[in-house]
């Protein structure tokens, strides 16, 4: 897990364990778009049969989570905030979130290459 977490942290993403009743259930990844929008990505191991301490299981769920990100949905949620809407035009938001997801997909590819 150290190699995987090192690559994630090298990408400027902090990682926090998520526990319920002292049981590790997943990880919260604290990411930012280039425009400074904070996006928390939750890698959820509950009800998956996967081990949150297993590198391959983590990589599998991380990849699936990144693939599932719908930037239209993320923008729509953020645009409900008046301050976000005032700070970002729709065009700026699309560019910012496309770049954010592209960076996460690049990171996913780097993680997949770890043996």
Measured on CA atoms in the order 76, 78, 82, 87, is the torsion positive or negative?
A: negative
45: three-class secondary structure by DSSP: coil
23 phi, psi to nearest 5 deg: -110, 125
pLDDT in tens, 19-51: 999 999 999 999 999 999 999 999 999 999 999
Residue range(s) defining the domain that contains residue 67: 2-112
Provide the domain count of the chain: 1
Per-chain mean pLDDT for the chain = 96
The pTM assigned to this predicted structure is 0.92
- Return the residue matching tokens 């904070």: 38
Q: Is the pLDDT score of 115 beyond 90? A: no
Q: Is the pLDDT score of 105 beyond 90? A: yes
CA separation for the pair 82, 6 (Å, rounded): 36
């Amino acid at each position: 897990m150290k190699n995987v977490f090192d690559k994630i942290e090298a990408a400027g993403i902090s990682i926090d364990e998520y526990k319920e009743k002292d049981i590790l259930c997943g990880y919260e990844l604290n990411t930012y778009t280039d425009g400074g929008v904070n996006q928390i990505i939750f890698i959820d191991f509950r009800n998956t049969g996967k081990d949150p301490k297993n590198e391959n299981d983590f990589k599998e769920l991380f990849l699936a989570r990144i693939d599932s990100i719908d930037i239209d949905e993320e923008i729509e949620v953020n645009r409900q905030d008046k301050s976000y809407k005032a700070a970002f035009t729709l065009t700026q938001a699309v560019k910012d979130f496309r770049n954010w997801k592209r960076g996460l997909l690049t990171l996913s590819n780097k993680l997949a290459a770890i043996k």
